[in-house]
Structure 1
Amino acid sequence: MNITSKIYDRSPTPLYIQVASVMRQRIDRGVWLPGDKISTLEELEVEFSVARVTIRQAIDLLRQEGLLDAQQGRGTFVSLKLKKNRWLNLATDLDAMIANLKDNVLKRVHIEEGAAAPELKVGEGTPAEGYTFLRSVQYNNGEPFSVVNLHLAKHIFDKDRKRFTHSAALPQILEMPDVTISQAPQTFTIGVADPETANLLEIGLGEPTADSRLILIDDNGVAIYVASIHYHKDCFALRVELLDHSKRRQRTAK
């Protein structure tokens, strides 16, 4: 058994999907640019140490995604009509998160009053007396890019039920003069799309997602907003300046 075979065996994912994932990354990173002719079937077969049928399946998958164009007699090329990738910078503060919502369209797909309280970990506040669960899909340029599963404290939801039903909850909460947010912890993880998320984001089951868990805790220590957000893998990036301006000036002065 060669090294490549051992790598494949570490994952239960079908071979052609593993190969397609590597090829997809080459397009994402600009190794293969729009209009470029990719490696031949023979070259890919040798490189990935798989059967030609596996390469064909991988190419067909990427063609269905709109990443590749197969031209009979000429070969396979990277599509000239690639979607704009990595346009969303994952927010690291509330102002940036509100700005991300500005040009997006929200569609509520499920509302459940009297929902069970979400599970809260240490440092995530205490449960409210009741919650309303709201699931929504956010669209940008007509395409879904995130699914939000939100537990909203009942006493907050009751303040403006109509607006919370049709609009993003986060900006509304921050505009409420009688609500004070004392903490807003957020955690990022890499996940995979479950059947519900895959259906709403229009992606394959088990495809990677960027997952954010955001909680708003009021001045009484109550978790009034507990959101689990799943972002489409093709839209997000996390860009952070690691050197703050004061340190940069100090280094320049030296």
Structure 2
Amino acid sequence: MRSQDRDRNRVPLYLQVASVMRQRIESGHWSEGDKISTIEELEAEFGVARITVRQALDLLRDDGLVESIRGKGTFISGRPKEKHWFNLANDLESVIESVRDNVIKIVSIDEQAAPPLLQAGEGVLAPDYVQLRSVQFSRREPFAVANLRLSREIYARDRRTFNRKPALPRIMEMPDIDVARALQTVTIGVADPETSELLRVGLGEPTADCRLVLVDSANVAIYVAEFHYQRNCFALRRDLVPKPAKTTRKLAKAG
């Protein structure tokens, strides 16, 4: 493999090439039925070895996006699955409603979990945490992997529900839980080996990562969750025209 092939970054080159080509299909740069560049042209364009281009095309072919016809070339044969149906909510009540009916599959539970690393403003640690790792599904397809560290004291109150359903709505139903702050951070990441397997995406493919921390009235971080969303399902939509100010209210309990 060429030296430049080794030096770019740790995401496999064929995944990088496949990602660019998939974006061209998604954006309409390549339409269904179009003949795309030859392997030799793609090799020159991306500055990669021929085997890298072939591996990228194999991924797109497996996704039903391209087909090769002997003696004629490679053609766009389909469109990516429905995109950007999941819009990240920007207030706590909307977040709760967006996850309430999610179907989850618990991957692992660690009742002796290490505490989360808290950022400035995220409160102080609870005495102990339970870690729940799960996959969330829509239409029987996985769209997010969640890593949640939940105060063990809260987990022990209703472990059966926490092991079967999204934790956030149940927490907000508890009458003595007073959430003072709900801190949300959104970043761009890549799928590590476990996440790529659980989401059924390529290793190193981009993900939309959301961190949500609930801090109670005693300044304790009772809920620290990290969600990794498939990039094709995720959107962040905001109305940038200011709305008239509303009366500030205390965070309401859901339910």
Do they superpose with TM above 0.5?
yes
Aligned pair 1:235/2:233, yes or no? yes
SS of equivalent to 2:30: coil
Corresponding position of 1:136: 134
Letter of the structure 1 residue corresponding to residue 173 of structure 2? E
Distance 1:115 1:50, change over 3 A: closer
Cα deviations across residues 210-247 of structure 1 (Å, max 9, x unaligned)? Answer: 11111001111111100011111221111111122349
Distance 1:125 1:179 in 2: 15
Distance 1:196 1:44 in 2: 30
Aligned pair 1:173/2:203, yes or no? no
SS of equivalent to 1:60: helix
Distance 1:96 1:77 in 2: 42
Corresponding position of 1:186: 184
Distance 1:119 1:74 in 2: 55
Corresponding position of 1:120: 118
Cα deviations across residues 5-29 of structure 1 (Å, max 9, x unaligned)? Answer: 9798533544433322221111222
Distance 1:223 1:208, change over 3 A: same
Contact 1:193 1:207 in 2 (8 A): yes
- Matched length: 243
CA RMSD of the aligned region, Å? 2.4
Which sits farther off after the overlay, 113-122 or 36-45?
36-45
Contact 1:112 1:134 in 2 (8 A): yes
Corresponding position of 2:78: 80
Unaligned runs of at least 5 residues, structure 2: 246-255
Deviation, 1:205, is 2.0
2:27 to 26, 29, 47: 29
Scaled by the length of structure 2, the TM-score of the pair is 0.85
Percent of pairs with identical residues? 56
Deviation, 1:50, is 4.5
Q: Which has the higher helix share?
A: 1
Deviation, 1:170, is 0.5
Which sits farther off after the overlay, 8-17 or 218-227?
8-17
Distance 1:96 1:75, change over 3 A: farther
Distance 1:7 1:111 in 2: 39
Contact 1:146 1:232 in 2 (8 A): yes
Cα deviations across residues 179-230 of structure 1 (Å, max 9, x unaligned)? Answer: 1110001111111122221221122222211111110011111111000111
Aligned pair 1:104/2:79, yes or no? no
1:136-175 map, 5 Å: 136-175=134-173
SS of equivalent to 2:194: helix
Deviation, 1:87, is 1.3
Corresponding position of 2:250: none
